[in-house]
Amino acid sequence: MEYLEFELPIKELEEQLQKCQVIGKESDVDVSGTCSQIEKKLIDTKTKIYKDLTAWQRVQLSRHPDRPYTLDHIRAICGESFLELHGDRSFKDDKAMIGGLGKIGDQSFMFIGQQKGYNTKTRQYRNFGMANPEGYRKALRLMKSAEKFGIPVVTLIDTPGAYPGLEAEERGQGEAIARNILEMTRLKVPIITVIVGEGASGGALGIGVGDVVLMLENTWYSVISPESCSSILWHSWEYKEQAAEALKLTSTDMKKQKLIDEIIKEPLGGAHRDREKTFKSVSNAIVKYYDTLKNLSPKDLVNQRMEKYANMGVFKG
């Protein structure tokens, strides 16, 4: 288990508890009382730390190296039923954007999402979760296939942004994202969007137009990352914490602004602390919202989606 800077008091107590348990096993000394005291202190410390997380600390948790990624969610939710589909039929298969068919119970879904890597080699292979235009075109191809066969779409967002390289611009990065946004607004099947990690900029929006948009508790969703915002405004990354607060990018802020529909609770300490519980929560949320959308006609579905996004940012004096 890796620990973030603000989690170091937890690390210290967990190490103390481990040593205490080892002493109890290897000797005749009764350490049950000491272990109980440490456990109580550990619970209190965890509760105190995670109760009042700053925006920047939530950003750090969304990037935690042990946090489950898109494929982890899909494989846990769908099991053996997941069939990955590849390619945009124009250029190549983008490894940063994954998609395919999978089942929750007896219901088929088209799952689409950005995938990050676990180590240096896989991060390069997945381009750090930053999709090229062909990734967004692959996503659109899969969505249109889902529409053709009446299969609902689930998108899982976890990206630091679309790939900003010269070659991506040459192949039409902006157009690919804009095309996806346009096509998703009028897709005739239910779309459920879940932000499972980072939700940055147009890279997230390219698969983020949903009838229902959900956020895991320790994720963020914004037009720009705190570091980039800091470097633009202050010409330095030193003000990233200040930028994170100002951007109002946490799940609580997004719910307050009515830009998302629900916050999915995470286990104490983040999604990586109890992966199975997190996967179950995400699966239950997808099923719950699909049940509310499945009986709507394609016309009502599109009209409701259009109205949802048209009302964003509207304030009555």
pLDDT tens digits, residue range 195-214?
999 999 899 999 999 999 99
pLDDT for 32? 80
Rounded Cα–Cα distance for residues 179 and 183 (Å): 6
CA distances from residue 183 to 142, 180, 301 in whole angstroms, order as listed: 12, 5, 14
Angle, nearest 10°, between helix axes 298-310 and 173-185?
120
Mean pLDDT lowest among 29-33, 86-90, 245-249:
29-33
pLDDT tens digits, residue range 149-186?
999 999 999 999 999 999 999 999 999 999 999 999 99
* CB-neighbour burial class of residue 51 (10 A; exposed 0-12, middle 13-18, buried 19+): exposed
Collapse the DSSP code of 171 into the 3-class scheme (helix H, G, I; strand E, B; otherwise coil) and give the result: coil
- Model confidence, pTM: 0.92
pLDDT for 52? 87
Q: What is the DSSP letter of 265?
A: P
pLDDT tens digits, residue range 277-317?
999 999 999 999 999 999 999 999 999 999 999 988 877 77
Residue 17 in tokens: 């508890």
φ, ψ for residue 306, nearest 5 deg? -60, -45
* pLDDT classification of 35: cutoffs 50, 70, 90: confident
Rounded Cα–Cα distance for residues 68 and 89 (Å): 29
More confident residue, 19 or 140: 140
Task: Tell me if 197 sits within 8 A of 67, measured CB to CB.
Answer: yes
